[in-house]
Amino acid sequence: MSATTACVRGTFLLGLAIGIIGCSRPTPLAPTPPLEVVISQPHPSGTPPEKIADWDTYTGTIESKDSVKVRSRVRGHIKSINFTEGDEISAGTELFQIDSDPFQADLKQAQGQLATWEAKLKLSEEKIAFYKPLADKGSVSKEELLKVLSDKGEAIGSIDAAKGKILESELNIGYCKITSPIAGRVGEALLSKGDLVNASGADSLLTTVVAVDPIYVTFNVNERAYQGYLKLLREKDKKTPAEAKGVKLKIPVELAVAGEDNFPYTGYVDFVDNRVDPATSSIKVRAKFDNPKGPDGRRALTVGLFARIRVTLADPTPAILVADRAILTDQSIKYVLVVNKEKNNVVERVDIKASDRLQEDGRRAVESGLKGDEWVIVEGVNRARPGVTVNPTEGKMPRRPVGSK
Closest C-alpha to 263, from 225, 226, 289: 289
Asked: is 35-52+318-394 a CATH 3.40.50.620 domain? The reply is: no
Report residue 314 CA to chain centroid gap.
22
Q: What is the pLDDT along the chain (405 residues), one digit of tens a residue?
A: 444 444 445 444 445 444 444 445 556 666 678 889 999 998 887 788 788 877 778 888 888 888 889 998 889 999 999 988 888 888 889 999 999 999 899 999 999 998 988 888 888 878 777 767 776 676 767 777 778 788 888 888 988 998 999 898 989 999 999 999 988 889 889 888 988 888 877 678 899 998 888 889 988 888 777 787 777 777 766 666 554 444 456 778 888 887 776 788 888 888 888 888 888 888 888 888 888 887 777 788 888 888 888 887 667 788 888 999 999 999 889 999 999 988 999 999 999 998 887 887 788 888 888 988 889 999 988 898 999 999 999 988 888 765 554
First and final CA of the chain: distance in angstroms?
A: 87
How far apart CA 365 and CA 321 sit, in angstroms, is 4
Give the integer Cα–Cα distance in Å for 165 and 380.
89
Residue ranges, CATH 1.10.287, the chain: 100-175
As to burial, measured by CB atoms within 10 angstroms (0-12 exposed, 13-18 middle, 19+ buried), residue 246 is exposed
All CATH 2.40.420.20 domain ranges in the chain, comma separated = 35-52+318-394
Burial status of residue 116 (CB atoms within 10 A of its CB: 0-12, 13-18, 19 or more): middle
Round to whole Å and give the CA distance between 168 and 152. Answer: 24
C-alpha dist (Å) from residue 115 to 154, 173, 248? 14, 21, 61
pLDDT digits (tens, 9 = 90+) for 210-221: 888 888 998 888
Q: Is residue 154 exposed (0-12), middle (13-18) or buried (19+ Cβ within 10 Å)?
A: middle
Query: Rounded to an integer, what distance in angstroms lies between the CA atom of residue 123 and that of residue 129?
Result: 10
d(CA 301, CA 215): 8
CB atoms within 10 A of CB 392: 22
Q: Is 140 helix (H, G, I), strand (E, B) or coil?
A: coil
Cβ distance 224 to 313 under 8 Å?
Answer: no
pLDDT tens sequence across 25-56: 556 666 678 889 999 998 887 788 788 877 77
The fold adopted by the segment(s) 100-175 is Helix Hairpins (1.10.287)
Give the CA distances from residue 70 to residues 153, 165, 203, in Å, rounded to whole numbers and listed in that order: 43, 26, 11
pLDDT of 4: 47
Q: Residue 246 has what pLDDT?
A: 47
Q: Which residues contact 184 (CB under 8 A, 6 or more apart)?
A: 64, 66, 68, 88, 89, 209, 210, 211, 212
Instruction: State the fold for domain 215-312.
Output: Elongation Factor Tu (Ef-tu); domain 3 (2.40.30)
Residue 342: strand, helix, or coil: helix
pTM of the predicted model as reported, rounded to 2 decimal places: 0.60
Q: What pLDDT was estimated at residue 348? A: 93
pLDDT at 7 (0 to 100): 47
C-alpha to C-alpha distance for 402 and 317, rounded to whole angstroms = 20
